[in-house]
Amino acid sequence: MKSIKIFLAVLMIVLASNVLSGCDARPQEAAQEVAGLQQVTEERSHLPQLAMARMDMAQELKKTVELKIELISESDEMLHVQLQLDNPEQKPITSVESWISFSSDRLRGVRMDVDESLFELAAPYENGFDERGRLKLGRATATPVKNETIILAELWFEKTLPGPVILEAYDYQYDLSGHQSVNMMHDDVPINILLKPNTPLLITP
């Protein structure tokens, strides 16, 4: 390992001196070495391009989308929140499945408004509240959404008991096997690019 480091250091010095002072002072052997390396580099110049493209593709599929709940208003009787996605890299999102759990003793879901949702398709049976304290939201679009901020729905809850309330993301998994995913298509396969949501998503005083 030491020999490699020495070799690297020498090479860097040679290259640096070449840049700073031109080629005149460079030893002939080193010049041949660099010339050989440049030739190899030119011959393989297409390889890093492809490798880089490959890494870019992998980066594209990396999980970068965040699920958030913004508190819009709160009173002793009602809680009004907005479910949204932060998509900083503006990745093309085809579908969102987000189940939000809450205590059915304290809250009762009364309304979900998808006026501003850009996902025009609704998954069957995933568009409302159930008796077990869960909001089931499943939406998709034929035209992928790339916005940085994506509003999924506005939610209204009725408070049935006083005190703090907690909203949780329900059943997150790395892939689509859970009930919490933001998905983009790659080679006709949906890939979940949703980061693991914070726990809890929202807690009120």
Partner 1 sequence: MSHYTKSTLIKEELRRPRYVAGAIVTLLTVVTTYFIYTNPNLNMAALFHSQQTGGETAVLYVPSYDAGIGESGQLEVRAKNNLEAFDAMSFFIEFDPTDALSISENSLILDNQTLVQSASFKDVTLEEPGLLGVTLLLDEPVAVDGPTPLEIETHETLFKIQVELSDALEDDTPINLSFKELTVTNNEALVVTPDLPSSTLTALNEPEANVVLQSKVNSIFPESITNEQKQTVLVSGSDLDTVDELRVGDVLVPVVEQFSTSLKIEIPAGFKPGVHDITLVDDQNNDAVFKSLLTVVGEGGQNEGEAEEILLETSGSVPVIDVERSYTNPAMVINDGQTPFTFYTFVQDVDQDIESVLVDVSAVGQVGPEAAEVFESEAVLTLETATCPTSSNTIACMTPSITEGNGQWYLLSNLSIRSDVVVQSDPYLIEVLVKDAGGNSSQMSVPLYVGNEVDFSAPRPLAVVATGPDAVEILFNKAVDPTTISSAAFSITSQQGALGVQSATINAAETIVTLKTGAHTLNEIYQIQVSSAVQDKQARPVATSESTLEFTGFQPLGQSPVLDYLSVVDNTMVELEFQHALQLSSIFDAEVMVYESEDPLKTLNVLGVAVISDHQIQIMTDTQSPNRRYRLKINGLKSYDGTELLTPLNRGFKGYNLQAIHQAASSRLADFNNDLRVDFADFTIFSSVYGTTYDALSPGTSSGSQISNPSNSNGNEDEGQIGQPIQEDPDALVPITEEINA
Which contiguous run of DSSP H or E holds residue 59? helix 46-60
Cβ closer to partner 1: 191 or 202? 191
Which contiguous run of DSSP H or E holds residue 31? helix 28-43
Among 16, 71, 78, 185, binds partner 1 (CB under 8 A): 185
Residue position matching structure tokens 């890494």:
55
Window 4 to 23, contacts with partner 1 (CB under 8 A)? 4, 7-8, 11-12
Q: Does 161 bind partner 1 (CB under 8 A)?
A: no
Q: Does 148 bind partner 1 (CB under 8 A)?
A: no
Q: Does 51 bind partner 1 (CB under 8 A)?
A: yes
Q: Does 72 bind partner 1 (CB under 8 A)?
A: no
89 vs 107: CA distance, rounded Å: 35
Among 41, 147, 160, 198, binds partner 1 (CB under 8 A): 41
Cβ closer to partner 1: 169 or 205? 169
Cβ closer to partner 1: 24 or 188? 188
Size of the site for partner 1 (CB under 8 A): 77
x/- contact string, 104-143, with partner 1 (CB under 8 A)?
Answer: x---xxxxxxxxxx--xxxxxxxxxxxxx---x-xxxxx-
Cβ closer to partner 1: 4 or 205? 4
Which residues, including other chains, have CB under 8 Å from residue 169's CB and lie 6 or more apart? 67, 98, 99, 100, 101, 180, 197, 198, 199, 201
Angle at which helices 28-43 and 2-21 cross, to 10°: 100
For 181, other C-beta atoms within 10 Å of its C-beta total: 24
CB 152, CB 119: distance < 8 Å: yes
